Amino acid sequence: MQDTANPIGKLWTSEGLAVGRPAFFRQRILTQAASLEAKSLFNFLVSEIRTRREVPLEEAILAARDVLEYLERNLLTRTLGQIQFPAISGRENHKKRSRANQPEKLINLTVVAEEDIELMAEFGTVALQRGRLARLIEEAYAQDAILDGHRLSVLFLQTHRGIRALLQSFWQQGVLLPVAGMKRTNRQLMQGLRGVLAIDRYLSGEDLTALRKDLAISTSRWQRWWQSFKELVRNQDRPLAELAGTLQEPVELLTAWREVYEDHRKKDPGLAARLGLNQGTLSKPDAITNRQALGELLCRRHGYSPAAAEQFLDDLVDLAARLNRQERAPGAIIYQAVSDREPAGKKLAECELKAVVLDYVTREDWELANRDNAEALKWTRLLRFAAQARSQGATLNQPDLALLLGLSTKSIQSLLKKHPGVVVPTRGLVADMGPALSHADKIIRLYMDGYTETEIVRRTGHSYESVENYLLDFARVTYLLERGLPVPAIRKVLGCSRRLVEKHVSLYREFSGPDHAFMMAKVRRLAEAHPVKKN
- At residue 61, the pLDDT reads 85
User: How crowded is the C-beta side of 85, counted as CA atoms within 13 Å?
Assistant: 32
**Bridge-based pairing state of the strands 332-339 and 104-110:** unpaired
- At residue 211, the pLDDT reads 96
Cα–Cα dist 230/271, whole Å = 12
The answer to whether the Cα torsion of 62, 67, 72, 73 is positive or negative is positive
- At residue 533, the pLDDT reads 65
Mean pLDDT for the chain overall: 84
The pLDDT tens digits of the residues spanning 362-413 come to: 999 999 999 899 999 999 999 999 999 988 989 999 999 999 999 999 999 9
The answer to whether the Cα torsion of 430, 432, 436, 442 is positive or negative is positive
Q: How confident is the model at residue 440 (pLDDT cuts 50, 70, 90)?
A: confident
Q: How confident is the model at residue 69 (pLDDT cuts 50, 70, 90)?
A: confident
Res 427 pLDDT > 70: yes
Percentage of the chain modeled with pLDDT above 90: 41
The answer to whether the Cα torsion of 391, 352, 65, 69 is positive or negative is negative
Total H helices, total E strands in the chain:
27, 6
Mean pLDDT across 299-328: 86
Res 111 pLDDT > 70: yes
Cα–Cα dist 361/314, whole Å = 33
Non-local CB neighbours of 280 within 8 Å, separated by 6+ positions: 234, 235
H or E, element range at 118: helix 114-123
Cα–Cα dist 216/137, whole Å = 13
Mean pLDDT across 123-127: 93
Give which of 306, 233, 319 is closest to 276, Cα–Cα. Answer: 233
Is the overall model pTM greater than 0.85, yes or no?
no
Instruction: Name the H helices within 439-463.
Output: 439-448, 453-460
- At residue 139, the pLDDT reads 96
Angstrom distances, CA of residue 99 to CA of 93, 147, 357, 372, 392 = 8, 11, 33, 20, 40
- At residue 97, the pLDDT reads 55
Instruction: Name the H helices within 204-250.
Output: 208-215, 219-234, 240-247
Least confident of 10-19, 133-142, 253-262: 10-19
- At residue 19, the pLDDT reads 37
- At residue 435, the pLDDT reads 42
- At residue 7, the pLDDT reads 35
Helix, strand or coil for residue 158? coil
Least confident of 29-33, 59-63, 357-361, 461-465: 461-465
Res 443 pLDDT > 70: yes
Yes or no: say if 309 and 49 are a contact pair by the CB < 8 Å rule.
no
- At residue 13, the pLDDT reads 34
Angstrom distances, CA of residue 394 to CA of 81, 294, 425, 533 = 17, 33, 10, 20
Yes or no: say if 341 and 129 are a contact pair by the CB < 8 Å rule.
no
The pLDDT tens digits of the residues spanning 5-42 come to: 333 333 333 333 333 444 445 667 877 888 888 888 88
Residue 430 identity (one-letter amino acid): V
Of 50 and 281, which is predicted with more confidence?
Answer: 50
- At residue 278, the pLDDT reads 63
N- to C-terminal Cα distance for the chain?
22
The pLDDT tens digits of the residues spanning 444-474 come to: 988 999 988 888 887 776 667 778 888 888 9
Mean pLDDT across 189-214: 96
Question: Inter-axis angle of helices 453-460 and 439-448, to 10 degrees?
Answer: 140
Gyration radius of the chain's alpha carbons: 26
Count CB atoms within 10 A of the CB of residue 437: 13
- At residue 4, the pLDDT reads 38
Cα–Cα dist 436/107, whole Å = 43
- At residue 40, the pLDDT reads 85
**Phi/psi at 387 (nearest 5 deg)?**
-70, -40
Give which of 238, 230, 239 is closest to 257, Cα–Cα. Answer: 230
